[in-house]
């Protein structure tokens, strides 16, 4: 059983990204020491590898559909949990990373550029994702009038909106939708069964130079804000209309 958000989509995930000003260390001993500490807390995270692009990754087996993953990139530490049983389970993982980053990778408050908390939803749909988004989110907007043009079909109806949630603009929210549909698929009518329509809600916090930045406290505040926005805005005004548009085609 997953969170209530997981019941609305095919995959739900909670990610945390700690962005740094300076490049993170890449030497063998430091990287292994960092990931070994994480593995002691989560023994099932036993797949370690380095991508061609250079980042280091540690993750659980993905076959169950519920898994944790962590990566260290050039200037950011990423932590995610796919289909968490509870939000608290995701919190436990992200808190460990934030608490261990100064000791394992030398990340100080001076080095932090910003902290992101992201809720993501992937919805399976074999069809024109842009058509779904146009109907669900743009049907009453001026953009819908463009579809009255001869032979017009939705292509690229994947909005991204960012707004400030504080007077100093250091706390920001972003809602983005990502279509996996391309012109070739629309032209041929050949849609991939595994394609997923994605929705992302992220809360970003930039440190205030006049205050001491607490990584864990900020994470908990941002995660709570994500949950509040999901319940009050994203589910009723974005997710439900999208699911309704998909249901009409099945």
Q: Please tell me which residue, 207 or 2, carries the higher pLDDT value.
A: 207
Q: Which long-range contacts (C-beta less than 8 Å, at least 24 apart) are formed by 180-186?
A: 180/129, 181/127, 181/128, 181/129, 181/130, 181/131, 181/155, 183/155, 185/128, 186/128, 186/153, 186/155
pLDDT, residue 250, reads: 74
Phi, psi of 123 (to 5 degrees): -120, 120
Residue 42: other Cβ atoms inside 10 A: 15
pLDDT, residue 3, reads: 65
d(CA 30, CA 23): 14
pLDDT, residue 1, reads: 39
If you average pLDDT over residues 43-72, what whole number do you get? 95
d(CA 94, CA 71): 12
Res. 169: pLDDT tops 90: yes
d(CA 186, CA 181): 7
pLDDT, residue 192, reads: 86
pLDDT, residue 142, reads: 94
SS3 239: helix
If you average pLDDT over residues 228-246, what whole number do you get? 97
If you average pLDDT over residues 70-88, what whole number do you get? 97
Contacts of 235 (CB under 8 A, 6+ apart): 5, 8
SS3 116: strand
If you average pLDDT over residues 244-250, what whole number do you get? 91
If you average pLDDT over residues 187-207, what whole number do you get? 94
SS3 103: helix
Say what the pTM is.
0.94
pLDDT, tens digit (0-9, with 9 covering 90-100), for 139-158: 989 999 999 999 999 999 99
Which two tokens mark 176?
A: 């983005």
Residue 96: other Cβ atoms inside 10 A: 18
Residue 71, strand partner residues:
57, 78
Residue-averaged pLDDT of the chain: 95
* Half-sphere exposure in the Cβ direction for 25 (13 Å, CA): 16
CATH entry 3.40.960.10 includes domain 6-247: no
Residue 66: other Cβ atoms inside 10 A: 16
Evaluated on CA atoms 196, 179, 59, 100, the torsion sign reads negative
What is the DSSP secondary structure assignment for residue 110, as one 8-state letter? G
For the chain, state the CA radius of gyration. 20
Pairing outcome for strands 11-20 and 171-178 = unpaired
Res. 94: pLDDT tops 90: yes
pLDDT, residue 2, reads: 54
Phi, psi of 199 (to 5 degrees): -130, 135
């Amino acid at each position: 059983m997953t969170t209530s958000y997981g019941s609305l989509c095919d995959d739900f995930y909670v990610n945390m990204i700690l962005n740094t000003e300076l490049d993170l260390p890449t030497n063998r001993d430091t990287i292994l020491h960092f990931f070994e500490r994480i593995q002691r807390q989560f023994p099932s995270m036993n797949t370690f590898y380095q991508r061609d692009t250079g980042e280091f990754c540690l993750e659980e087996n993905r076959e169950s559909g519920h898994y944790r993953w962590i990566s260290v990139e050039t200037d950011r530490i990423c932590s995610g949990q796919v289909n968490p049983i509870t939000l608290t389970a995701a919190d436990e993982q992200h808190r460990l990373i934030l608490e261990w980053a100064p000791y394992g990778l030398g990340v100080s408050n001076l080095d932090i550029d910003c902290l992101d908390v992201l809720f993501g939803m992937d919805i399976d749909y074999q069809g024109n994702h842009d058509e779904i988004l146009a109907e669900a989110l743009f049907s009453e907007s001026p953009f819908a009038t463009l579809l009255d043009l001869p032979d017009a079909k939705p292509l690229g109806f994947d909005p991204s909106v960012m707004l400030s949630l504080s007077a100093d603009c250091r706390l920001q929210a972003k809602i983005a939708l990502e279509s996996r549909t391309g012109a070739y698929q629309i032209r041929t009518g050949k849609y991939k069964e595994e394609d997923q329509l994605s929705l992302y809600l992220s809360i970003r916090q930039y440190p205030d130079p006049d205050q001491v930045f607490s990584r864990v406290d900020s994470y908990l505040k941002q995660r709570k804000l994500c949950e509040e926005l999901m319940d009050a805005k994203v589910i009723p005004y974005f997710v439900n209309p999208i699911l309704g548009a998909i249901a009409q085609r099945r």
